[in-house]
Amino acid sequence: MKPSKLDGAVIVAAICLCLGGCLGQPPPVEEYLRVGADGPECGVSEPAVKTIVVAVRPFKALDNLDRQAVLVADGRVLVPSMRWYWEGSPEALLTAAVEARINCLPGVGAVSPYRPRLTHDAALSGTISAFNIQEQGGLRFLAGLRLELWSEQFGELLATTEIKAEAPISGFTAASVAEAAAAALSDAAGQAAQWIEQNQGAIPARSGVDEEAEAS
């Protein structure tokens, strides 16, 4: 018996439904969250003379944090978002924020990236231990950083600190997450700058003339 046009239409509809069910819904639209500051918020009208120069080595993140996707944690389990992404890596965001805030300190300047021949009095390195949304215990954003302050050329470890910052997230939206992350980032950078300021006295005088100065 030859199938009718109606039978053919039913078959086509069934195939479409099957494909729709198998393929599922289209993926969510990707959104990129901007949290970096436009510039240092020093609150001073004129730049101060920089008598201490801190060379900043780009910070490193733990392996599970070394990604651009926004991470969401429920307790100890981290899951990367399939929709939200940082505009830059956590390493770049935190390094830039801390460097900018150090440059706000009177008499202290930060330069990066670190190079052995770069004229400097001290060197700074950091390891990122947290940069994620936390759902357990209240929706909030966490930022964690371990900093090490070294003498010139990373010759001697002068001081270490653990920095933790968090900010509540008002709602599970891209705008709210970005706002909370920016607040936590600013808090962490402020703590880092305050710690550098407190340890200025531990920074020894520069050991000698750098190679570039000798060449000139």
What was the pLDDT predicted at 39?
Answer: 52
| Residues ≥6 apart with Cβ < 8 Å to 210 | 117, 118, 119
**pLDDT in the model for residue 201:** 92
Task: Report residues of the chain scoring pLDDT below 50.
Answer: 4-22, 209-216
β pairing state of 52-56 and 60-61: unpaired
Sign of the CA dihedral with 201 first, then 205, 211, and 212 last: positive
Which pLDDT score is estimated for 1? Answer: 54
- Residues 40-83 have pLDDT tens digits of 567 655 556 778 999 999 999 998 898 999 999 988 899 999 99
β pairing state of 52-56 and 122-134: parallel
Closest of 192, 117, 206 to residue 160, by C-alpha: 192
Q: What is the pLDDT of residue 109?
A: 92
Res 10: pLDDT? 41
Q: Are 157 and 69 in contact (CB under 8 A)?
A: no
Threshold 0.75, pTM exceeds: yes
Structural domains of the chain sorted by starting position, each given as residue range(s) with its CATH number in brackets: 30-206 (3.40.50.10610)
- Measured CA to CA, the distance from residue 157 to residue 43 in angstroms comes to 31
